[in-house]
Structure 1
Amino acid sequence: MTPLPDCFCPVDGTRVASESLAWCCPVCRGPLDLDFAPTPAPLKSLGGRVNSLWRYAETLPLATPSVSLGEGRTPLVALTDGVSAKLDFLMPTLSFKDRGAVLLAELALRLRPRQVLSDSSGNAGTAIAAYCARAALPCTVYVPEGTSPKKLEQIGAHGARVHVVEGDREATARAAREAADEPEVFYASHVFNPYFLHGTKTYVHELWEDLGGRLPEVLVLPVGNGTLLLGAALAVAELFAAGLIDRRPALYAVQTAAVAPLAHAWQEGADDLVGVTPTAPTVAEGIAIPRPPRARQILRAVRDSGGRFLTVTEDQIRHAQLDLASQGLYVESTGVVCWAAVREGVLGARGAVVPLCGAGLKTGLADG
């Protein structure tokens, strides 16, 4: 079995051994990164490989998967005005979170904890529950009160224990992290564990392959905790370092105007979150994150790419959801925020790609 790479803290450099169940930096309690710099395979060598994200094995910190559900390789379809959509809601659990969840489940199998624990507003918890079921690992998912009943039903159907926390998404995360400090617990955090990011990066590796060895000028990505955007930045860096692309696309990060701490920091020219940003209720529950732990990394990734932050209103989200449904694509409200931004004509560049991250059946149509 291939040795696992160690983790390290991007803030203070503290290292965490690969076999450890530590979920954060022991010094600053921040998220970890992975000491792993892979070289992707050239385009011509991908033919005939397994039709899942595991076809990019050279870029993944784990090999020979045992819990795969065929995740990845989602379709790329044209919308309008030169914009395409990647249908990441066509995953085993109906959201893009499967890309990272499968790596966390594989890692947990290697580490053999007493319990797997996750916290989520719904989709990440569902994905963790599904892959833990596949791996026969006991799983508990912490969710905030008010989580979509359909998502709760899906988590429970996979055999996971659902722990509902009184309060919002941040209160849920605090409760989960406290429980994660208990002995023999593997915290399958899609925010703190870097393996998740190395799963979400396959979104861009697939785009690169499907576009014949190139990437679009602009990647438009939803941002709450930033796991898809940071994964995209990893993939872009890998492809560029290997000489497989000759330019890096700009990363455009989309937040709901109701909860936009990163967009606010961007407008202030800050390198980290600035003060307490006012929040309001939003139909985009999956990205309603007031204080994302990887804020500095997200802001830096967007800045280094030459990208920017965009915000969309509740009405724009609702209209975008209905617009996509009229084109045959039923996507949950969080999953349409990128299309909501593009529909406003703010990009000024053709050839952009937007992800449609979660199926509409998870939440139904946004009220309004």
Structure 2
Amino acid sequence: MTTYHCPGCGTISPVDSATWCCPHCRGPWDLDFTASPVPLTALPGRVNSLWRYEEALPLSAPATSLGEGRTPLVPLTGTVSAKLDFLTPTLSFKDRGAVMLAELARRLEAQGVIARVIADSSGNAGTAVAAYCARARLDCTVYVPEATSAKKLEQIQAHGARLELVPGDREATADAARAAADLPGVFYASHVYNPYFLHGTKTYVYEMWEDLGGRLPEAIVVPVGNGTLLLGAAQALTELHTHGLIDSRPQLIAVQAQAVSPLAAAFRAGADGLLAAPPAAPTPAAPTPAAPTLAEGIAIPNPPRARQILRAVREWGGTFLTVTEDELRAAQRDLAARGLFVESTGVACWAAAGTWTDRTAVVPLCGAGLKTGLAP
């Protein structure tokens, strides 16, 4: 195993300490790991999962794999293709990172470092962690907002994980999980704070590169909440470019729901981090809970890796786009009419399609429509 390092203050920690964040600034970890070049010509005949890119991964020979990855790339228009990342074991792209976290936790548990796993999620990441912990025979608890889709809750429980329903929004759920993460013997399988997750999601781009014969499209468009797919994509782009495996530099385009778009606002303001929030209005005595957007999976008002996300989009010549609730509804129905039933978060990039259909692009369809149903 390698070491964690904090990009904020430079603190270093061994991976087998199971420390979930920097103990000094409480920021998320990065990983001291250098990928080796992945030989395109050697890939035929390798295992048909994301583990075929073994040179680029910080873990190898997994016991937890469910065959994740290698999802189809399907044309939508003459220039735009969709990567069907809802065709994974738990029906969302979060499987790519969850398998890395569960494999790491399995090894730490075997060493006696940890005894149980916790995670927090709006649904998909929690489901993925629950499934892979079941595969690894790990004790697992998942914290979710109380308004989480009943179908996602059922899926988490089906894998044997305990549910902790947290009153309030996604931020309240994360706070509850982080408090539990500080207890002894706990591995926090955080898709936000643990960088192993990002090394799983980066395989999304490696697959695209392989399927396009060692090329990439002019634009890679991803939905962004906590930014785990975007940061994984940026990592893969950096590795492929550094190793001379791609000549061009694709644009990295980020999409947020207009209702919850702190990163888009910061990008447009030219800021390096999130903008300061305006003073909060007085809280009513009995507030009425409401989902701020149909794209619940990216409704993150304060992403911990905000600075890294903004830097990555600028480094790869990209931009931020936002989509309305009506555009999300229309995009979900349009994709369904094309034979693809995708959950309302997963259609965000297609909802923004009119902005960049003048160039070759790939959009991820990140979660199956069965998880939430058709948006009203």
Q: Does 1:39 align with 2:36?
A: yes
Q: Aligned residue for 2:317? A: 306
Q: Aligned residue for 1:91? A: 88
Q: Aligned residue for 2:57? A: 60
Q: Aligned residue for 1:121? A: 122
Are 2:85 and 2:366, in contact at CA under 8 Å, matched by a contact in 1? yes
Q: Does 1:334 align with 2:345?
A: yes
Are 1:216 and 1:249, in contact at CA under 8 Å, matched by a contact in 2? yes
Are 2:72 and 2:83, in contact at CA under 8 Å, matched by a contact in 1? yes
Equivalent of residue 28 in structure 1, options 25, 29, 37:
25
Q: Aligned residue for 2:107? A: 110
1:351 positional shift:
1.1
Q: Does 1:73 align with 2:84?
A: no
Q: Does 1:256 align with 2:265?
A: no
Distance 1:9 1:149 in 2: 37
Distance 1:338 1:16 in 2: 37
Q: Aligned residue for 2:369? A: 360
Distance 1:58 1:272 in 2: 33
Are 2:79 and 2:357, in contact at CA under 8 Å, matched by a contact in 1? no
- In the superposition, relative to structure 1, how do residues 94 and 348 fare at CA in structure 2: closer, same or farther (>3 Å)? closer
- In the superposition, relative to structure 1, how do residues 59 and 102 fare at CA in structure 2: closer, same or farther (>3 Å)? same
TM-score by length of 2: 0.95
Number of aligned residue pairs: give it. Answer: 362
Are 2:221 and 2:254, in contact at CA under 8 Å, matched by a contact in 1? yes
Residues 269-280 of structure 1 aligned to structure 2 (within 5 Å)? 269-276=270-277
Gapped regions of structure 1 (runs ≥ 5): none
Identity across aligned pairs (percent)?
71
Report SS of the residue matched to 1:321.
Answer: helix
Q: Aligned residue for 1:287? A: 298
TM-score by length of 1: 0.97
Paired letter, 1:312 = V
1:114 positional shift:
1.1
Q: Does 1:185 align with 2:186?
A: yes
1:280 positional shift:
7.2
Are 1:258 and 1:280, in contact at CA under 8 Å, matched by a contact in 2? no
Are 1:218 and 1:349, in contact at CA under 8 Å, matched by a contact in 2? no
Distance 1:335 1:267 in 2: 23
Paired letter, 1:204 = V
Paired letter, 2:332 = Q
Distance 2:170 2:37 in 1: 36
Paired letter, 1:323 = D
Distance 2:277 2:368 in 1: 32
Distance 1:95 1:347 in 2: 24
Q: What is the CA deviation profile of residues 152-177 of structure 1, one whole-angstrom value per residue up to 9, with x for unaligned ones?
A: 00000000000000110000000000
Distance 2:179 2:122 in 1: 17
Q: Does 1:349 align with 2:353?
A: no
Paired letter, 2:293 = T
Are 1:25 and 1:32, in contact at CA under 8 Å, matched by a contact in 2? yes
Distance 2:30 2:146 in 1: 30
Equivalent of residue 45 in structure 2, options 43, 48, 54:
48
1:40 positional shift:
2.6
1:141 positional shift:
0.1
Are 1:40 and 1:56, in contact at CA under 8 Å, matched by a contact in 2? no
1:303 positional shift:
0.5
Q: What is the CA deviation profile of residues 115-134 of structure 1, one whole-angstrom value per residue up to 9, with x for unaligned ones?
A: 10000000000000000000
Distance 1:93 1:75 in 2: 16
Distance 2:306 2:142 in 1: 24
Report SS of the residue matched to 1:133.
Answer: helix
1:348 positional shift:
5.4
Q: Does 1:8 align with 2:5?
A: yes
Gapped regions of structure 2 (runs ≥ 5): 281-289
What RMSD over aligned residues (CA atoms) do the two structures have, in Å?
1.1
Q: Aligned residue for 2:283? A: none
Are 1:23 and 1:192, in contact at CA under 8 Å, matched by a contact in 2? yes
Q: Aligned residue for 1:236? A: 237
Distance 1:317 1:298 in 2: 23
Report SS of the residue matched to 2:17.
Answer: coil
1:81 positional shift:
3.7
Distance 1:334 1:93 in 2: 16
Distance 2:212 2:117 in 1: 37
Are 1:148 and 1:362, in contact at CA under 8 Å, matched by a contact in 2? yes
Paired letter, 1:11 = G
Q: Aligned residue for 2:153? A: 152
Distance 1:156 1:40 in 2: 40
Are 1:217 and 1:349, in contact at CA under 8 Å, matched by a contact in 2? no
1:270 positional shift:
0.1
Report SS of the residue matched to 2:221.
Answer: strand
Moved over 6 A (4+): 277-280
Paired letter, 2:240 = L
